[in-house]
Structure 1
Amino acid sequence: MLTIKIKRFSELSIHELYDTLQLRSEVFVVEQDCVYQDLDGKDEEALHVLGFKNNKLIAYTRIFKAGDYFKEASIGRVVVAKNERDFKYGYDIMKASIKAVHDCFNTTVIKISAQVYLKKFYSNLGFKTIGEQYLEDGIPHVAMLKD
C-alpha cells in the first residue's frame, strides 16, 4: 500500500523534489533511453502526487487543472520505480491522481498523452483512445480521455 501525498510545487521539500526528478530521470531518460527535456517549466503549475513505500518515493504523477496543459484537466509524468512495478502501484498512483483531479479541480474529464504500450493499463482505469497515434520525444503515444 502506498502512502500518498499531494503537494503544490512550493510545498515540496528539497528532498521530495530531488527524489521526484531522480525517479523521472531514471525511468523517462535512462530506462527508456530517451533524451528529452523533462524539466519543461510546467512543474510549478502542477499538483504533484507522490507515492511512498516505507518512506521512499516509488511512484509519482503530476496533475493539471483544465487549461494548464490540455483544454481538459490532465495527468502526466506517470512513473513507478522499475523494481516496484510487479506490485501494481501504477494503479494505486493513478487512482489517487484521478481522485485528486476530482477533489482539487472539481471535474471528471481527464485527458492524458499515453505511451502506446500502456493503452491497456489506462483503459483498465476508464480512459478511451481518441485520435491517431503520434510520436512524442520519439516514443509512440496516443491521446486518451476519461469522462
Structure 2
Amino acid sequence: MLEIKVKSFQELSIYELYSLLQLRSEVFVVEQDCVYQDLDGKDRKALHVLGLKNNKTVCYTRIFKPGDYFNEASIGRVVVSKKERKHKYGYDIMNASIDAIKKHFNETKIKISAQVYLSKFYNNLGFKETGDEYLEDDIPHIAMIRQ
C-alpha cells in the first residue's frame, strides 16, 4: 500500500530529501540518460509529494503555487521508480498532487511541462495539450493545462 506525504522543504527529513533526490537521479539522469541540473534551486519553494512503500520513496512530485514556477499552479519532477510502475503509482501520485494543490493553494488550474511520450497518461488525468512541442534537456515536451 502506498503512503502519501506532503511536506515543505523545511519539513523534509535528511532521509526523505536524500531518497527523493536519489529517485529523481535514478530516473531522470541514469534511466533517461540525460545530463541536466536537477538541483535547480526551486525545491525550497515547492511542496514535496512523496509516495512511500515500506518507508521507501517509490514515487514523487513537487508542486508550486501560482507564480512560483508558472503563472498557474504546477506539478513537476513527476517520477515513479521503474520497478514500481506496474502498480500504476503514477496515477496515485498525480491525483495526490492535484488534491494537494486544491488543499494547500485553493487552485484547480494546473500547468505542467510534460514529456511528449507521456501526454496520454496526463490526458487521462484531465490535462490538455497547449501550444507546440519544445525541447527541454533534449527531450520533447509539451505544455499541458488542467482546468
TM-score range relative to shorter protein? over 0.9
How far the C-alpha of 1:99 sits from its partner, in A, is 0.2
Distance 1:105 1:45 in 2: 13
| Alpha-carbon shift at residue 26 of structure 1 (Å) | 0.3
Counterpart residue number, 2:119 = 119
**Percentage of identical aligned residues:** 74
Partners of 1:118 and 1:43 lie apart in 2 by 23
**Residue 137 (structure 1) shift:** 0.4
- TM-fit CA distance, 1:2: 1.2
Taking the aligned partners of 1:107 and 1:93, their CA distance within structure 2 comes to 17
In structure 2, the gaps of 5 or more residues are: none
Q: Secondary structure at the match of 1:78?
A: strand
Instruction: Please list, as runs of the form range in 1=range in 2, the aligned pairs for 1:1-147 lying within 5 A after superposition.
Output: 1-147=1-147
For 1:131 and 1:63, locate their aligned partners in 2 and report how far apart those are by CA, in whole Å: 22
Task: Using the TM superposition, give the Cα deviation of residue 108 of structure 1 relative to its aligned residue in structure 2, in angstroms.
Answer: 0.3
Distance 2:37 2:122 in 1: 24
CA deviation vs aligned residue, 1:55-107 (integer Å, no higher than 9, x gap): 11100000000000000000000000000001100000000000000100001
Residues in 2 aligned to 1:111 and 1:78: alpha-carbon distance in whole angstroms: 13
Structure 1 residue runs without a partner (length 5+)? none
Deviation of the 1:16 alpha carbon: 0.3
The alignment covers a number of residue pairs equal to 147
- Corresponding letter in the other structure for 1:33: D
* C-alpha RMSD of the superposition: 0.4
What are the superposed Cα offsets for residues 6-54 of structure 1, whole Å, 9 maximum, x if unpaired? Answer: 0000000000000010000000000000000000000000000000011
Cα separation, 2, equivalents of 1:26 and 1:56? 14
Amino acid at match of 2:124: N
Give distance in 2, aligned partners of 1:129 and 1:102.
Answer: 21
Partner of 1:59: helix, strand, or coil?
strand
